[in-house]
């Protein structure tokens, strides 16, 4: 019995030390995301509203994605502060709904937009005016609000439901983006009838840009969410919540938030100025 007690004590001390180390690195990653991510996304939003790049209308989805990422930066701040100020916990849970739904929804919307521009250009031109993009974004923000409220009231007592929902959500968004990727790739290999060499080259360049954007977005989504899904299924099967497994997914999620800003700054010709 004494040996058993001693083994249990050693295991507990080791676990406490491990959690403390992970918690320390976790706070550092939250601080990095807030201190670097907030000014980056504010700068991108400011450039879009000033009309840099392709203008507000064509970059409206990226503008909303940047606003969502600003909310993500605020989540990182409130997540750190909630460790010392308990009254922030409910608001922090509200922001959890924003970060698990906002980014994949807007990324999916960007991929669908590029898909329509390449595969169905007539439909794209029909819905190109800004008012249609505003309607889409209003619908997305209503969905995000539903996510936020559900996380605020359901997440604390139904963690397993949240994990299943997160996995199903990833599968759905990944399927949509994969479909857009394959459709644009097929369109890239086909040439329209009666096209001249120069026109064909310009169109293929546009298709390649759309394909690479969807490819980067899809790969980023896979790298960001696959670790979360693996950790979620492991937690469901074993009924054990291990911080270290979720932390690797969190780091990838933080880094994934800088992909779209870097792509936009590169297109706007502002990346070289920052470097």
For residue 53, what pLDDT is reported? 58
Q: DSSP for 40-74?
A: HHHHHHHHHHHT-TT-TTTTHHHHHHHHHHHHHHH
Q: DSSP for 18-32?
A: HHHHHHHHHHHHHHH
- Crossing angle of helices 259-267 and 197-238, in 10° steps, is 170
Walk along the chain (275 residues) in steps of 10 and give the mean pLDDT of each run. Answer: 34 41 79 91 91 74 93 91 84 88 89 88 87 93 92 76 78 84 79 54 71 82 79 76 73 86 83 60
Residues in Cβ contact with 104 at an 8 Å cutoff, skipping those fewer than 6 apart = 169, 170, 173, 221, 225
For residue 244, what pLDDT is reported? 67
Predicted structure pTM score:
0.81
Q: Are 92 and 40 in contact (CB under 8 A)?
A: no
For residue 212, what pLDDT is reported? 81
State how far the Cα of 103 lies from the Cα of 256, in Å rounded to an integer.
10
Domains of the chain: 2-274 (1.20.1070.10)
For residue 69, what pLDDT is reported? 93
- Crossing angle of helices 243-256 and 2-32, in 10° steps, is 10
For residue 133, what pLDDT is reported? 92
For residue 106, what pLDDT is reported? 92
Neighbours of 144 (CB within 10 A): 21
For residue 203, what pLDDT is reported? 65
For residue 63, what pLDDT is reported? 92
For residue 254, what pLDDT is reported? 87
For residue 11, what pLDDT is reported? 32
């Amino acid at each position: 019995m004494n040996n058993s007690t001693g083994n249990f004590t050693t295991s507990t001390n080791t676990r406490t030390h491990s959690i403390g180390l992970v918690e320390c690195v976790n706070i550092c990653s939250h601080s990095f995301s807030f201190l670097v991510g907030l000014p980056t996304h504010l700068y991108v939003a400011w450039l879009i509203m000033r009309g840099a790049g392709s203008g507000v209308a064509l970059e409206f989805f990226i503008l909303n994605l940047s606003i969502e990422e600003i909310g993500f930066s605020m989540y990182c701040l409130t997540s750190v502060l909630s460790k010392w100020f308990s009254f922030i916990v409910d608001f922090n849970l509200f922001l959890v709904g924003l970060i698990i739904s906002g980014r994949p929804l807007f990324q999916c919307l960007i991929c669908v937009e590029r898909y329509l521009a390449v595969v169905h250009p007539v439909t794209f031109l029909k819905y190109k005016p800004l008012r249609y993009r505003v309607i889409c974004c209003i619908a997305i923000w209503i969905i995000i609000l539903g996510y936020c409220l559900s996380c605020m009231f359901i997440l604390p007592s139904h963690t397993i439901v949240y994990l299943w929902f997160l996995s199903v959500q990833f599968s759905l968004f990944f399927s949509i983006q994969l479909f857009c990727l394959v459709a644009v790739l097929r369109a890239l290999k086909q040439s329209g009838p009666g096209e001249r060499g120069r026109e064909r080259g310009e169109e293929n360049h546009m298709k390649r840009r759309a394909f690479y954007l969807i490819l980067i977005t899809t790969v980023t989504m896979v790298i960001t969410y696959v670790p979360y899904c693996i950790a979620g299924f492991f937690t469901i099967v074993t009924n054990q919540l291990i911080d270290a497994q979720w932390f690797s997914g969190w780091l990838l999620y933080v880094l994934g938030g800088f992909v779209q800003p870097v792509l936009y700054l590169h297109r706007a010709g502002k990346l070289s100025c920052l470097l």
